[in-house]
Amino acid sequence: MTMPAAIQAALRGENALPLRPADQVMNLERLGALHQSRLSFMRTLVRRIMRERWQISASHFELDKQGYGTVIYSIKTPHKCYSFVLFSDYLSAEDRNDRVIATQWDLTMALVEGEIDDLYLAKLRQNVPKQEAGRVDARVFVLSRANRSARNFDYVVDQLASGEQPDIAQIARVGYLYRTTAVYGSGKLGMADWEKVASRHADFARPFAAEMFVCLMLRNFSLQQAEHIARHRSPDTYTPMQTDIKRFFGIGNSTGLGMAPYLINHPLLINQWIEMRELALARIRVLGNINQRVLQQFPQLLQRCTAHTQQTVTEDAWQSENNRLVLQDLQAIETHCAQGIESWDNLLHWSEANCSLQGQEMLISVLLELYPELVDDLEEHYTAEEFLDLDPVMPVQQLKQVIEQRYQWALKLDFAAEGAKDTFWYRSEEKMEPRLGDVREDDGKDKQMALGVGYAVRKCYDQLCDYITEHPQHSTARFMVAQPKLRGIVRRIQSMNRCLYGDIQANLLDREIMPMHLLRAKLACFGVGKFDPRSKLWVRNTMFQGAPLLEDIGKTFNDDWFMPLAPGAQGAC
């Protein structure tokens, strides 16, 4: 989508808004401190659904008493009609496996263009439950699968069947009935590629909109299925789940290293995501009027963030310390602002001097929540044409200057230091997932993924300087003839010079690299919460907790499910 001239002017020129510098924003540790916000993809998707009043209903609901069978939801938007198909199958406890190498799941599902007849349903039935082992056509946008929560699903069914409601404290510990183990889109396994989706289907033309919608529909089905099983198990004592408890259920997700390379391989898109968020913040710094409404809502949001953080359960020491710091920071912000707020700009500078990165970024998410009129229009500009273009006529002297200005962070890295190049990223053939290797212990460096952007820039710069010594008047094209293996990194350097952000400023080859920061950054863009790392390589989290239910479509919508709280908690939605 082309960015309007007004937004381009706000980003560049003498009268540009005060955007934070790239060396601050694209610091890996800060990216790993991002939180959900009203520009996160789940929030923007739900706003669209509620605003446009999508019609979503079960056109085919064929489940047996145990909840196994086939369900088709019909989705009618102002533009088109789609179908969401689920297959629920029996899965023994010993076969339940959340790893990507699993071959069976409790649920498999697909988001499909148009309505489905019996013939096409049979084709989906043959292939969707197989996931990677099956094949689908370009009518399918997204393919996914999910497993029941061993801690929650049967418990909730038992409670409803006996006429009781689930215990809120237990839901707060595990806020979902199902967890996804993969959500595939963008042309995998024969599905529609992103170009088709973006150009022909306006409803899902934003990044990951179709994937997020599948997770939202899974959340809806999980609640319907639990009630269906409970009702058939004990029709005399069964009671439906209370609406506020339903809303507190989300969908679980486990994210590993597979998500990390995306942030490196799509720099123009990442630039767009970060740029829009930073533009929203800059608007607030300059235009955010601190009126009575804001003065009342701001401390309420701080208290909600406090309660949400307190309700986040994790056994990970690192995340527990992060949560402790956030709670400490929120209290400090509230105390600091008790005597009045001179300006948001002053408060942000104060937070940078007195709060952790997690607390600083939590404050930014709160500020975005206060000013929908300054923020929400930016959700339309989260796409970007991902084409890294080589400029062959650029003089080599200019290319050198670009590197020195744009990639100063990479030139400052000491790759001769101990451990600076010990890590390599590769894709495991056995596990079908990205992995980290250690050059001191593992073979396979020759198969590494090209994620060490900083190191590649350093090597390119050194060879460019040597080349300029002999050929100071040459063009980039002549340099490429002499060093053809550098074409990829030169293309990236020249293309990213047109952006403000996009490149993560860290040495991803360092022995002490924290992949969790990469995972957290992308998940925050999605809008997930309740981060619970299980190691430094994968994290559990919760999606769509607190979001409206399908039966809420058409009703008054206040878009107030930011940092959702357990029913009955102070500040709960």
User: Residue 264: what pLDDT?
Assistant: 93
Biggest CA pair distance of the chain: 89
User: Residue 45: what pLDDT?
Assistant: 98
| Block residue for tokens 């209903």 | 57
- Domain for residue 485, yes or no? no
- Domain for residue 472, yes or no? no
For residue 331 the two structure tokens come to 């209290």
Query: pLDDT (tens digit, 0 to 9) for every residue of the chain, 573 residues total?
Result: 455 655 565 666 555 678 999 999 999 999 999 999 999 999 999 999 999 999 999 999 999 999 999 999 999 999 999 999 999 999 887 777 766 667 899 999 999 999 999 999 999 999 999 998 999 999 999 999 999 998 899 999 999 999 999 999 999 999 999 999 889 998 888 999 999 999 999 999 999 999 999 999 999 999 999 999 999 999 999 999 999 999 999 999 988 878 888 999 999 999 999 999 999 999 999 999 999 999 999 999 999 999 999 999 998 999 999 999 999 999 999 999 998 999 999 999 999 999 999 999 999 999 999 999 999 999 999 999 888 999 999 999 999 999 999 999 999 999 999 999 998 888 776 556 777 888 888 776 677 888 899 999 999 999 999 999 999 999 999 999 999 999 999 999 999 999 999 999 999 999 999 989 999 999 999 999 999 888 777 888 999 999 999 999 999 999 999 999 999 865 554
- Domain for residue 545, yes or no? no
Q: Tell which residue, 378, 377, 387, has the closest CA to residue 498.
A: 387
Question: What is the pairing mode between strands 107-113 and 81-88?
Answer: antiparallel
- Domain for residue 85, yes or no? yes
Q: Tell which residue, 433, 425, 447, 444, has the closest CA to residue 510.
A: 425
- Domain for residue 403, yes or no? no
Q: What is the count of structural domains for the chain? A: 1
* CA 430/CA 105 separation, integer angstroms: 19
> Is the whole-model pTM more than 0.75?
yes
- Domain for residue 37, yes or no? no
433 neighbors 483 (Cβ within 8 angstroms): no
Q: Cite the DSSP H helix spans in 66-143.
A: 118-127
User: Residue 3: what pLDDT?
Assistant: 59
108 neighbors 134 (Cβ within 8 angstroms): no
User: Residue 189: what pLDDT?
Assistant: 85
Q: Which domain holds residue 117?
A: 54-256
- Domain for residue 143, yes or no? yes
Task: Report which residue type is found at 140.
Answer: V
Helix pair angle (267-287, 357-370), 10° resolution: 70
* CA 367/CA 364 separation, integer angstroms: 5
Question: What is the pairing mode between strands 250-255 and 423-427?
Answer: unpaired
For residue 432 the two structure tokens come to 């079908």
319 neighbors 531 (Cβ within 8 angstroms): yes
- Domain for residue 439, yes or no? no
Phi-psi region of 451 (alpha: psi -120 to 50; beta: other; left: phi over 0): alpha
